């Protein structure tokens, strides 16, 4: 997925989330969306699951762990806070071609669940270390 497409999906996700989040989280996101454009979070894409796992392990070794892990269906993301409180997302595309990602969107899965599913990061690392195929981990095992 190219950056522009990811931005469109993320913007749609944020706008949708603002309508369903309750309490302070919903109010804060609604306020952020109403403001002038500003940085809400930084997102960095890696090439493959190996890069995501290695980034996680390197950061974990330094005592830096994600506050949230979400498989969005089209991407798998680890969310961190930097020392200034900004959110930093490390993500990998779950589908390696535009055609396969478009096919996933056509299933209606995004419309049924635009947030995705939290997942167990230790399980992801374990599956990766066992040699389970990247596509199987990202598209099936973590997307439940």
In a domain, 6, yes or no: no
Where residue 43 sits, what CATH number does that domain have?
Answer: 3.30.720.110
Pairwise CA distance, residues 114 & 110, whole Å: 5
Cβ 61 vs Cβ 55: under 8 Å:
no
Mean pLDDT score of the chain: 81
Structure tokens at 50: 């190996």
**Global pTM value:** 0.73
Note the pLDDT tens digit of each residue in 1-37.
444 444 444 444 554 454 445 566 667 766 766 766 6
Q: Which domain holds residue 50?
A: 39-141
In a domain, 65, yes or no: yes
In a domain, 26, yes or no: no
Structural domain count of the chain: 1
Pairwise CA distance, residues 14 & 130, whole Å: 35
């Amino acid at each position: 997925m190219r950056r522009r497409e990811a931005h469109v999906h993320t913007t749609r996700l944020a706008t949708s989330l603002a309508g369903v989040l309750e309490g302070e989280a919903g109010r804060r996101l609604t306020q952020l969306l109403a403001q002038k454009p500003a940085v809400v979070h930084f997102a960095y894409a890696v090439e493959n699951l190996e890069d995501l796992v290695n980034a996680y392990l390197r950061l974990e070794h330094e005592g830096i762990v994600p506050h949230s892990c979400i498989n969005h269906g089209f991407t798998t993301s680890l969310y961190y806070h930097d020392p200034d409180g900004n959110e930093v997302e490390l993500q990998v595309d779950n589908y390696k071609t535009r055609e396969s990602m478009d096919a996933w969107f056509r299933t209606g899965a995004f419309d049924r669940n635009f947030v995705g599913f939290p997942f167990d990061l230790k399980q992801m690392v374990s599956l990766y270390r066992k040699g389970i195929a990247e596509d199987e981990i990202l598209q099936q095992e973590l997307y439940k």
